[in-house]
Amino acid sequence: MTRFGRTVAAILTAAALLLPLAVHATGSLFSGLGYGIIENFNSSRAAGMGNAGLALLDPLTLNFANPALLVDLRRTTISVGGYFSRQWMQDHQASDLDDWAQFEYFGISIPLYKTVTLAGLFSPYTRVEFRYGWHGSLDGVPYYESYQGTGGLSRASLALAWAPAPWAKIGAAASAIMGEVEDLRGSYFDATGYLDSEFLTSNQWLGFSGIAGLVLQPHPAYLLAFTFEPEVPMHVDKSFSYTNEDSTSASQADYRLAARYGAGISRRLSATWQMAAQAVYSPWGSLTRVPGGAADYRDSYELSAGAEWIPGNWNAEHFLKRLQYRFGARWETGYVLSAGNPVNALFATAGFSYPFHEGRERFDISFEFSQRGELSANDGQEQTFKLRLGMNLSDTWFQRPKPPWQK
């Protein structure tokens, strides 16, 4: 490419960033920042309670956030689920609507002994999915500039939980965080076709981490929970290609994910009511090895609370009394600044469960409505509705039924 062509490409890129022109976006407006939108799934039960599950005992579903709670699964258990979402996005120039479906988690637990449980877990960790476009003109010549990204990181874990005493449970999980993120920038002259260039960047991420969990029961009605994950060193292999020169360059970098400190509490109010709450803190602002520069990062916080109402049991005469009902709320602030301000998000959740197979299995449904970002503070905002589905199956599904004479 000639020096003149490179100059024109640079002018186009600068113009696209500076001119307030029409914008089209899909996916999350904020997923292109840093590592993407971090997703810390807890359990299918906690999803309807604002995701406040760090201290929720549950013998039917796997907990992905606190490995200490896995010791309550006394049968071989499989938990699997996903979600459907509809997202409304808006900035100062345009708005868009995006539908999305995604696998969310898979886990299997195997009790090794009456107080020891082994589990394997897999779930997405971050999501990157966005597309922007700018129309404009340069010296009377129309052009189009595009920027889009895809991919994300996933977490695979092997966890071990142990109950050294009736009032104490501990657990630890070794995790691999891995994935690929691609972003593509393009510049095109609509009329003349004089300039047609694309810049593709592909990042292959890999890091290893660990999570420790502790659950204490100082009173039959109360549970306290604590979790900790240290900073995660992440290695990235980068490749950059420029279509006009049909060339590719490679490089490497090392970044960090912030540590996570979590604390939760649950209280059983009666035989039918239970409440839970939790707080999570990540000191992103103290990191220096992060994409894009440390000045754009800040500490992130998460507060969530929820309640559960169980009016009957699995074989109640009235169908509605067999269900378990949940509702909750969550507030969080993102780890990267947008337009110089933090990206805050507010979530409202509700859900219910249908226990079956004599109460040994459960089907969970939850609904979540959220708003992330604000037009006045972040130059953009998005509202999302999610429908989550989860299935929890025990070892009775994997055993051959006994003949009647052996029962």
Classify 320 as helix, strand or coil: helix
Confidence of residue 20 (pLDDT cuts 50, 70, 90): very low
The structural domains of the chain, ordered by start, are 3-398 (2.40.160.60)
User: Residue 21 pLDDT > 50, yes or no?
Assistant: no
With a pLDDT cut of 90, the percent of the chain lying above it is 64
What is the predicted pLDDT for the residue at 10? 39
Q: What is the DSSP letter of 248?
A: E
Q: Higher-confidence residue: 18 or 91?
A: 91
What is residue 297's predicted lDDT score, i.e. its pLDDT?
A: 92
pLDDT of amino acid 401: 52
Residue 17 has pLDDT above 90, yes or no: no
pLDDT given at position 221: 95
Show the tokens assigned to 188: 């095109």
Nearest CA-CA partner of 117 in 125, 108, 109: 109
Reduce the DSSP state of residue 273 to 3 states and report it.
Answer: strand
| pLDDT tens-digit map of 93-114 | 778 888 889 999 999 999 998 8
Cα R_g (the chain), whole angstroms:
24
Q: Is the pLDDT of residue 373 over 80?
A: yes
Decide if pLDDT at 4 tops 70. Answer: no
Span 243-259, pLDDT tens digits: 766 677 899 999 999 99
For the range 396-403, what are the long-range contacts, defined as Cβ-Cβ under 8 Å and sequence gap of 24 or more? 396/75, 396/357, 396/360, 396/361, 397/78, 397/361, 398/76
Pairing assessment for the beta strands 168-189 and 77-91 based on DSSP bridges: unpaired
Reported as a pLDDT band with limits 50, 70 and 90, residue 61 is very high
What tens digit of pLDDT does each residue of 292-306 get? 888 889 999 999 999
Instruction: Provide the percentage of residues in the chain whose pLDDT is more than 70.
Output: 87
Rounded distance between C-alpha atoms, residue 225 and residue 202, angstroms: 39
The answer on pLDDT for 80 being more than 50 is yes
Give the pLDDT band of residue 91 (cuts 50, 70, 90). confident
- Interval 258-274: pLDDT, tens: 999 999 999 999 999 99
The pLDDT confidence band at residue 361, using thresholds 50, 70 and 90, is very high
pLDDT at 44: 95
pLDDT tier for residue 277 given thresholds of 50, 70 and 90: very high
Task: Write out pLDDT tens, residues 178-206.
Answer: 999 998 888 777 655 556 778 888 999 99
Which residues are CB-contacts of 12 (< 8 A; sequence separation ≥ 6)? 138, 143, 145, 187, 195
The confidence score (pLDDT) of residue 35 equals 84
Q: For residue 28, what pLDDT is reported?
A: 81
Tokens matching residue 135: 């129309």
Residue with the larger pLDDT of the pair 330 and 3: 330
Determine the pLDDT at residue 194: 57
